[in-house]
Amino acid sequence: MVDPHQVLDNAVWWSLTSHHRRHGEVRGRAARYRPDASPFAAMESFGEEPWRDLADLVGPESTCVLFCADLPTVLPAGWKVVERGEGRQMIIDPDQLVAVKPVTSRLLVAADVPQMLELVEVTRPGPFRAATVELGRYYGHFEDARLVAMAGERLQLDGFTEVSAVCTHPDVRGQGLASGLSHHVASGILQEGRRPFLHVAATNDRARRVYEALGFRQRRLVDFALVRSPPR
């Protein structure tokens, strides 16, 4: 039996092998999302067999993003690290969500994807692709029919849902939109009896302070790496 909180150490794997299985592919002890939904891939562990399964899954000289705790510094022969970084994994206790000023928003749908992609291009909140909207509920705040802020759900695993894609256009920052939308998403998750968690780059102190003000606390540091698979 896996500890309910330890699943968060390898959240992509547990999401892809449970609630998000239909959004990706599992092969042996490796899994990945459909490329149009997310660049994330994962392995059950870091043994030789899972690395072989992942190589077969993504194909030769292809890239994917690994996102988990304690990612090995040295990868197996043939694998290359293109980019690597560190993030903070944050979680909130059920009774700790701090009330904030509500933000007018609506559920985003497929027709909103072009504007969502435009906002992501400007704000760079993390990987977001055309089909990412299918992974959960995303909410947006509009001004004159223009999407200027959004937040939503990404990884889904037993007992937990990830708050993700929190972003605000530079023209309207400082109005509490990120805080209000994050609160709305987290509140919906809590109402379903699940725990909200999220990830923020270790260097993004501004975003970290927003989440801490809502009641989130750091659970642990996690690693992410854009990697390239070996040639045949």
List, for residues 33-48, the tens digit of each pLDDT value: 999 999 999 999 999 9
Residue 137 and residue 27 share a domain:
no
Residue 69 and residue 118 share a domain:
no
Measured CA to CA, the distance from residue 95 to residue 135 in angstroms comes to 26
Residue 201 and residue 102 share a domain:
yes
Residue 122 and residue 68 share a domain:
no
Domain span including residue 72: 6-88+223-228
Residue 77 and residue 121 share a domain:
no
In a domain? residue 199 = yes
Residue 180 and residue 128 share a domain:
yes
First to last CA, the chain: 37
pLDDT band at 4 (very low <50, low <70, confident <90, very high): low
The strand ranges marked E within the chain are: 24-27, 30-33, 40-43, 63-68, 80-91, 106-107, 138-143, 146-157, 160-168, 195-201, 217-228
In a domain? residue 180 = yes
Count of Cβ atoms closer than 10 Å to residue 209 Cβ? 12
Q: Is 66 left (phi over 0), alpha (psi -120 to 50) or beta?
A: beta
Residue 160 and residue 138 share a domain:
yes
**Cα dist from 50 to 31, 83, 88, 120, 222, whole Å:** 9, 21, 25, 32, 20
The tally of CA atoms less than 13 A away on the side-chain side of residue 160 is 24
With 0-12 CB in 10 A as exposed, 13-18 as middle and 19+ as buried, what is 82? exposed
Residue 32 and residue 111 share a domain:
no
In a domain? residue 1 = no
Residue 79 and residue 99 share a domain:
no
User: Given the structure tokens 């896996």, which residue do they identify?
Assistant: 2
pLDDT band at 146 (very low <50, low <70, confident <90, very high): very high
Closest CA to 131 of 223, 40, 7: 40
Residue 186 and residue 145 share a domain:
yes
Query: Is the CB of residue 59 less than 8 Å from the CB of residue 207?
Result: no
List, for residues 179-224, the tens digit of each pLDDT value: 999 999 999 999 999 999 999 999 999 999 999 999 999 999 999 9
For 115, list phi and psi in degrees, rounded to 5.
Answer: -70, -35
Residue 133 and residue 215 share a domain:
yes
Residue 128 and residue 67 share a domain:
no
pLDDT band at 1 (very low <50, low <70, confident <90, very high): very low
Q: What angle do CA 208, 149, 154 make, to 5 degrees?
A: 65
Structural domains in the chain (count): 2
| CATH number of domain containing 42 | 3.40.630.30
In a domain? residue 138 = yes
pTM: 0.95
